Amino acid sequence: AQSVAQPEDQVNVAEGNPLTVKCTYSVSGNPYLFWYVQYPNRGLQFLLKYITGDNLVKGSYGFEAEFNKSQTSFHLKKPSALVSDSALYFCAVRSVNAGNNRKLIWGLGTSLAVNP
Amino acid sequence: SAVISQKPSRDICQRGTSLTIQCQVDSQVTMMFWYRQQPGQSLTLIATANQGSEATYESGFVIDKFPISRPNLTFSTLTVSNMSPEDSSIYLCSVEDGQGSFLMNTEAFFGQGTRLTVV
């Protein structure tokens, strides 16, 4: 069965430092991987996705993610964190079940706090 | 990207009553979904809203409790029926677009959510 794990409930980083939010996945077949961000009292916003091709995917707000097939990981990164990056981050993987119903499987989320 | 209007944005309801949440999209979309999210926690899929037919519910969710309508490709409603305090949560509308094989790699877009408190 498809699954997503975000091993860290919270990540703290100083402003200006690089940040990494971790995600590992388990899928049968080709992985379709997504990152979303949720700012306080807001809906989710799409950041980036991996479908195929280059392992390094660039997305919104200066974020990027590296797909690593051997480690089944899709970690979110940013070279220099901003205080405004403080939010809840979700990793998701596309799933199709036996009934051909497609849906996103969501990680539990990682709360990122960027300290000034 | 699709623009999604969800309303109400928040409501406080008495137990035993029902609330209908509306989701309006500014363009026709293939798929519409309804999620539930406790503040600060992950998303739980309630159902897929199917245009012109009954919604497809996830395990643990039933039509009598969460009736869903989707009369066209731009609009859906979720009703939370006979509410109890356990139904207090954030309810999110989500849409995805694309055809055929592109359905797998299409990103989802979300409304701003409805924060429901049942007292």
CA distances from A6 to A25, B27, B53, B60, B109 (A): 9, 33, 35, 24, 21
pLDDT given for residue A100 in this prediction: 62
What residue of A is the nearest CA neighbor of B47? A103
Q: Which of A43, A46, A107 is facing B111, going by the closest CB pair?
A: A43
Amino acid at A77: K
A84 three-state secondary structure? helix
| Contact present, A14 and A115 (Cβ < 8 Å) | yes
Q: Is A40 helix (H, G, I), strand (E, B) or coil?
A: coil
The pLDDT tens digits of the residues spanning A58-102 come to 999 999 999 999 999 999 999 999 999 999 999 999 876 655 667
Q: Which of A49, A101, A109 sits opposite B105 (nearest CB)?
A: A49
> How many other β-carbons are positioned within 10 Å of the β-carbon of residue A116?
7
pLDDT tens digits, residue range B78-106?
A: 999 999 999 999 999 999 886 655 667 78
CA distance B1 to B13: 33
> Any idea what DSSP says for residue A21?
E
Dist. CA A47–CA B118, nearest whole Å: 33
Backbone angles phi, psi at B100, to 5 degrees: 55, -130
Measure A34 CA to nearest chain B CA, in Å.
7
Contact yes or no for B93/B110 (Cβ under 8 A): yes
Q: Does position A41 have pLDDT exceeding 80, yes or no?
A: no
Mean pLDDT of A19-34: 91
Distance CA B70, CA B55 (A): 8
What amino acid occupies position A39?
A: Y
Q: Is the separation of the CB atoms in B7 and B45 below 8 Å? A: no
pLDDT in tens, B7-43: 999 999 999 999 999 999 999 988 899 999 998 889 9
Cross-chain Cβ contact B43/A106 below 8 Å: yes
CA distance A7 to A47: 19
Whether the predicted pLDDT of B52 surpasses 90: no
Tokens standing for residue A24 = 């590992």
